[in-house]
């Protein structure tokens, strides 16, 4: 196994969210590969203030930055809210800067159209933070990969795409590590 640490970031924080189911599914696939150390990173656990509204001294803010700094790459679990990413994910992204830079990321998204619109918005945001987002992008449908929009039952075909996405995230995370002193 490489010494790469990859965080699987849950992008939603609402009560009743399905992102933990999706994140655990990705982690299960990732852990089976044996090529990096994968962990779930749950924004909700950090109690981040809205940027600029707190004191800047909140422990969760420092912990969030420390967690991101410990990671070499990311897999974002992205859900579509009003054709974009959640406010909580945007705030979490905005709540760090250097800790994102020169790292790689993959996106797994879901929504009525696979979360594609939210994922494309995230790609634009990641560019500003010098995060290299990989091409392969598993898209999950609320209609066919979930029962009652709440119980995650992914179609088998997504397994190939998740592994292909992880291949790219691991390769780029390793390559970009050499850029960071
Ligand atoms: C405020 C809000 C806006 C939403 N807007 C969209 C949308 O524009 N497109 C879409 O496909 N799904 C939309 N949805 C449905 C969500 O993608 C779906 O509820 C998904 O399960 C949310 O992820 P979560 O359970 O992890 O919070 C919206 C849901 C919420 C709560």
Q: Is the pLDDT of residue 75 over 70?
A: yes
Looking at residues 66-91, what average pLDDT do you find?
Answer: 98
- pLDDT (tens digit per residue) in 19-43: 999 999 999 999 999 999 999 999 9
List phi, psi (to 5°) of 98.
-60, -30
Nearest to 105 by CA among 121, 127, 87: 127
Measured from the CA of 16, which atom of ligand 1 is nearest?
Answer: 25
Q: Is the pLDDT of residue 53 over 80?
A: yes
9: domain CATH number is: 3.40.50.360
24 CB burial (10 A radius; 0-12, 13-18, 19+): middle
Domains: count for the chain? 1
Q: How far is the CA of 178 from the centre of ligand 1 (A)?
A: 38
Q: Is the pLDDT of residue 106 over 90?
A: yes
- pLDDT (tens digit per residue) in 158-177: 999 999 999 999 999 999 99
Express as a percent the part of the chain with pLDDT over 70.
99
**Domain encompassing residue 118:** 5-177
- Give the binding-site residues of ligand 1, using a 6 Å CB cut-off: 12, 14, 17-19, 79-83, 111-113, 142
Looking at residues 44-68, what average pLDDT do you find?
Answer: 97
> What pLDDT, on the 0 to 100 scale, is given for residue 1?
59
Helix (H), strand (E) counts: the chain: 5, 8
Nearest to 126 by CA among 9, 5, 36: 9
Q: How far is the CA of 16 from the centre of ligand 1 (A)?
A: 12
> What pLDDT, on the 0 to 100 scale, is given for residue 2?
75
Q: Is the pLDDT of residue 13 over 80?
A: yes
């Amino acid at each position: 196994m490489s010494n790469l640490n990859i965080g699987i970031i849950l992008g939603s924080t609402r009560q009743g969210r399905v992102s933990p189911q999706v994140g655990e599914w990705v982690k299960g696939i990732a852990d089976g590969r044996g090529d990096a150390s994968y962990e779930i990173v749950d924004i909700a656990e950090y109690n981040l203030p809205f940027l600029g509204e707190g004191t800047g001294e909140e422990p969760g803010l420092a912990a969030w930055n420390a967690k991101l700094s410990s990671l070499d790459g990311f897999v974002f679990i992205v859900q579509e809210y009003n054709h974009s990413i959640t406010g909580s994910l945007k705030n979490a992204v905005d709540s760090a800067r250097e800790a994102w830079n020169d790292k790689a990321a993959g996106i797994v998204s879901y929504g009525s159209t696979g979360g594609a619109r939210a994922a494309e918005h995230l790609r634009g945001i990641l560019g500003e933070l010098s995060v290299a987002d990989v091409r392969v992008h598993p898209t999950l449908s609320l209609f066919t990969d979930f029962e009652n929009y709440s119980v995650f039952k992914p179609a088998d075909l997504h397994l190939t795409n998740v592994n292909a996405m992880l291949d790219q995230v691991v390769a780029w995370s390793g390559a970009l590590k050499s850029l960071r002193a």
